[in-house]
Amino acid sequence: MSMPSESVPFSELLRQPAETAERLTRARAVRLRRRDAADLVLMSADRAEAEGEVVDLTARLLASLVRRDPGLVREALPTVLPWVRFLPPADATQMAGEFVATAEAAAAVGNTAALSQLLAEWRHTAEIHADPDLHRVLAAPSADDFGLVTRPDDE
């Protein structure tokens, strides 16, 4: 059973660093809420390293199992990600393959951002398939040219 995370304002870490760090003895992590930026998570280095090892092992184990039985992940996904049921069978199969490959690669570089992005993209695809009206509009061919797309300012 995992310990709960606590949440405190970022300013508490600045005002009471020892007391804020002490919270880690009772919680898995401490979420530092910030007003004008993304929240941060404070956890012990030992725990972060242990969780990273678990993610790496899980990704490698999953990849090994899938090599033996490629349909295994495809069959299991709807039980852990119920929205997969909205994907057409070919898309669900493609998603399962991409999930395993991306999980293995993400574990190898120690960064799960690509896996999180992949799941968000497939979840949005499932949302479109779940809504017949939206799917019809987005799947319809378009003869319109919507013009040039400008590069975003931050690139």
d(CA 59, CA 77): 15
Summarised one tens digit per residue, pLDDT across range 16-73 is 989 888 888 888 899 999 998 999 999 999 998 998 888 888 888 887 887 788 788 8
Helix (H, G, I), strand (E, B) or coil at 42: strand
Summarised one tens digit per residue, pLDDT across range 101-129 is 888 888 888 788 999 999 999 999 999 99
Q: Residue 33 is encoded by which pair of tokens?
A: 């809420």
